[in-house]
Structure 1
Amino acid sequence: MEHTATPAHRAEAWRSRAEPLEATYPGIGSIVDQPVFAPISRRELMTAVNIAAPDLGLKPSTVLIVDALLSCLPCRSSAGAEIPVSPTMLLTIYAANNTLCFRAKGVTERQLRRHIQILEEAGLLTRRDSANGKRFPIMRGGKVVGAFGLDLSPLLVRHREIQELARLRTQAQEELRGLKAQILKLGAACQALQLTDASKQFVESLRKVTRRARLTITEAKHLLERLLSLAGHSPAPVENPQSDPRDQNSSETNSPTAKPRTDVAPRPTKPAHTTASDGRNVRHKKTEEPDPKKAIHPPDPRAWTSLTTISALYPTEPTTSREAAAIAYDLGQMLRVSRDFTTEAIATHGLHHVLKAMDRLATRAEGISAPRAYLRHLLTHADMR
């Protein structure tokens, strides 16, 4: 008697062949039981885990264990190329502790067990323990179909959530970096104002506060608002606190409503011929001979106000080259440029060109990751000459 194999019979036969694996090895990590998720490369996943580690409650040492576990996944094609992690590959790691410790830069087995427990408590890992606690693969037809070990399915299922956490943290870090730059710039400008002792102490402590690793965006915004209130309500610095009586007399004389004064004696006129010293004690200094090894740059006649950013931070125009160099060194520290590089740049390109390049760098400081290289480019560029 012949029996016809209907689709229902074939499905029943398939189920009967698949059931023994589940019934014989309960609780193992197998491909058929893994959840479905979008494929992702190990590099992208590790980048997101590194950035979002504080939000996941992971320390850098625990992130190193995650990297070691991901390195055990079969993410190589037959040609040796890197392929993304997908649900079609076994996500249960059955490598021994020695292997994992070696790939985790030499941590001890005790540290490894502690970090695995942290990952399990964070919901990023599931234990698939055998009866004796050992990790080993389950083979069928010469292929690995399951394993007892550490299942990374929870980590892979949450990879979109982790990437979103990393994106939000990156945005927050960029916003905080911009707020810190504004605080430092406005704080430097407030130092030239007439402030109370408490306000002056607050402005001087800004550099130390902005270096705190746990400074939040809310705290940075509060500092910026307080600086803006100081800058808006504080009087501008007095350039010449001591007035000259002769200037007052001159202004009264030039006024259209001023009356002629009779109580002021006429000033004696100077003789046509004066002595070499003109009545002053002149101290003659020996002229220094120029060093042929150093480049000599004549003083630039352009006004201090042409350096818009620097003149806003330092309203008082320097009267000597020493004062201008001190401003260049101070601004270089604010822009993360070393003192040695600033000295070399001044000796090579001249003080004015260095200040002009720093002025342009200060206007774009928030978006420049390598200020020293950018400053070197500005100094060697033709437009800076």
Structure 2
Amino acid sequence: MEYTPISPFMRPISHAHLSVIETPEGSPPGKPINKWELLRELSKAQAAFGVSERDLTVLQGLLSFFPDDALGGNAEMVVFPSNKAICERLNGMPCSTMRRHLGRLIDAGLLVRRDSPNGKRYVRKYGDERVAFGFDLSPLYCRSEEIGRAAEAVREAENRVRRLREVVSLMRRDLAALAEFGEQMQPSLGLWDQLRDTAALTARALRRKLRLGDLEQYREALEALLDQARNVIDGPETEEMITSDVRIEHHHHNSNKESLEFERGLEKGKEAGGVPDDPTGTPETSVEDLDRQPKPKIPLHLVTTSCPSLKTFYDGEVRHWHQLFDAACHIRPAMGISSSVWEEAQRCMGPEQASIVVVAMLERFADIRSPGGYLRALSAKAAAGEFSCGPMVMALFGRRSAA
């Protein structure tokens, strides 16, 4: 067409017509884009463009008049249906409603009116040239990359909310379980009522659609209460165990022949100026290293209570995290878990959490076909930040309480 009009028919001209009609926002992506996929992306990012579901319904009707499935290429992207044809395509939407939604699409910069001299919508051919008057879809095509980025941002925000909602739900469940467990240990303490009330209020709040900021506030509050409950349940005995006598006991705790031989070899290696290889395949993790690393959020008492099979296969006393690690090192070979898998689990999860997982696997040992493969799979999830041992222990505790 030799001339592109800038004034609408029987409507006042505005700055929007001067800036949009000749140069639509965005730049052409340079390749055809499926119109229905583009509409789905726009529906995901509709809030970023200020359009509603009804506006997109009208846009869907206009796209249905475009003969090709893909926008772009050499085809002119102007559709010219009458108002009656558009309303019929929209299942009988009133004409006034349809015009209002069309105006919102135009104000959002997703459509452009190409009005003819008399305001009618039609197409004319002058030899090889084709001139169409109607609604131009080229702004939608030119902004396809912007629409795609906005849709991806919405998906990422939804994923963050979904993951945080799952975390809050798990923390709420742990809080209720700790309240029940703590009531058995110290019945007179009022903290357990506070934990139960908070868990109930959080469960009620999770029925609603919470924003990211609200979920973060719930997570901080629940995390503080979980830490407080863990300190109350695990605190006194933890202070009692942090003594030099216990550290010496850890090194000489196991009285079986293999452990004594290993300790003698370790002492000889130190005297020779080197460190011998561990014949059991366990990585060399000292008590000091265990104390320096952050402890799991779940109390140790809850772990030992939920996993009574540990007492059957391990004669030692488990009242501290380094003792649980020693127990896991002891029962790990009997479960068929190789040293390489055990080392990988400690590297990905940390020694304490890896010990909890091994003890929990012992409790369900009959149901696990390949303990080594199962632990390796959990280590891979932990390395990706997608695993926590809390739900495993809580499931065992719930099954034991229901028995």
| Residue number in structure 2 paired with 1:72 | 65
Q: Report % sequence identity.
A: 26
| Contact in 1 for aligned 2:170/2:391 (Cα 8 Å) | no
Give 1:70 deviation, angstroms.
Answer: 1.6
Q: Does 1:212 align with 2:205?
A: no
Question: Aligned residues, how many?
Answer: 229
Give 1:87 deviation, angstroms.
Answer: 5.0
Residues 40 and 111 of structure 1: CA distance in aligned 2, closer, same or farther (over 3 Å): same
SS in 1 for 2:135: strand
Give 1:121 deviation, angstroms.
Answer: 1.5
Picking from 40, 53, 67, the partner of 2:33 is: 40
Q: Could you tell me the TM-score, scaled by structure 2's length?
A: 0.49
| Contact in 2 for aligned 1:191/1:200 (Cα 8 Å) | yes
| Residue number in structure 2 paired with 1:50 | 43
**What is the alpha-carbon distance in structure 2 between the residues aligned to residue 34 and residue 86 of structure 1?**
16
CA deviations 1:340-385 (Å, max 9, x no partner) are: xxxxxxxxxxxxxxxxxxxxxxxxxxxxxxxxxxxxxxxxxxxxxx
**What is the alpha-carbon distance in structure 1 between the residues aligned to residue 129 and residue 194 of structure 2?**
71
Q: Does 1:114 align with 2:107?
A: no
| Contact in 1 for aligned 2:176/2:195 (Cα 8 Å) | no
**What is the alpha-carbon distance in structure 1 between the residues aligned to residue 44 and residue 201 of structure 2?**
29
Give 1:119 deviation, angstroms.
Answer: 0.7
| Residue number in structure 1 paired with 2:119 | 133
Picking from 145, 166, 175, the partner of 2:130 is: 145
Q: Does 1:96 align with 2:89?
A: no
Bigger-Rg structure (1/2) = 1
**What is the alpha-carbon distance in structure 2 between the residues aligned to residue 51 and residue 218 of structure 1?**
21
**What is the alpha-carbon distance in structure 1 between the residues aligned to residue 207 and residue 107 of structure 2?**
33
CA deviations 1:144-188 (Å, max 9, x no partner) are: 722221122222111100100001111111121111111111111
Give 1:302 deviation, angstroms.
Answer: 7.4
Give 1:189 deviation, angstroms.
Answer: 0.6
SS in 2 for 1:37: coil
**Superposition pairs for residues 212-291 of structure 1, below 5 Å?**
212-213=208-209, 215-235=210-230
**What is the alpha-carbon distance in structure 1 between the residues aligned to residue 207 and residue 48 of structure 2?**
21
| Residue number in structure 1 paired with 2:178 | 193
Structure 1 portions without partners, runs of 5+: 1-17, 76-81, 239-300, 325-385
| Residue number in structure 1 paired with 2:3 | 22
CA deviations 1:248-304 (Å, max 9, x no partner) are: xxxxxxxxxxxxxxxxxxxxxxxxxxxxxxxxxxxxxxxxxxxxxxxxxxxxx9799
Structure 2 portions without partners, runs of 5+: 9-21, 180-190, 234-307, 311-358, 365-388
CA deviations 1:25-69 (Å, max 9, x no partner) are: 7769xxxx7876122111321121111112212211211112111
| Residue number in structure 2 paired with 1:180 | 165
Residues 202 and 54 of structure 1: CA distance in aligned 2, closer, same or farther (over 3 Å): farther
Alignment RMSD, CA only? Answer: 3.4
Amino acid at match of 2:201: S
**What is the alpha-carbon distance in structure 2 between the residues aligned to residue 173 and residue 314 of structure 1?**
28
SS in 1 for 2:74: coil
SS in 1 for 2:120: coil
**What is the alpha-carbon distance in structure 1 between the residues aligned to residue 129 and residue 219 of structure 2?**
60
Amino acid at match of 2:37: E
CA deviations 1:303-337 (Å, max 9, x no partner) are: 994366555335745568xx36xxxxxxxxxxxxx
| Residue number in structure 2 paired with 1:313 | 394
Q: Could you tell me the TM-score, scaled by structure 1's length?
A: 0.51
Structure with greater helix share of residues: 2
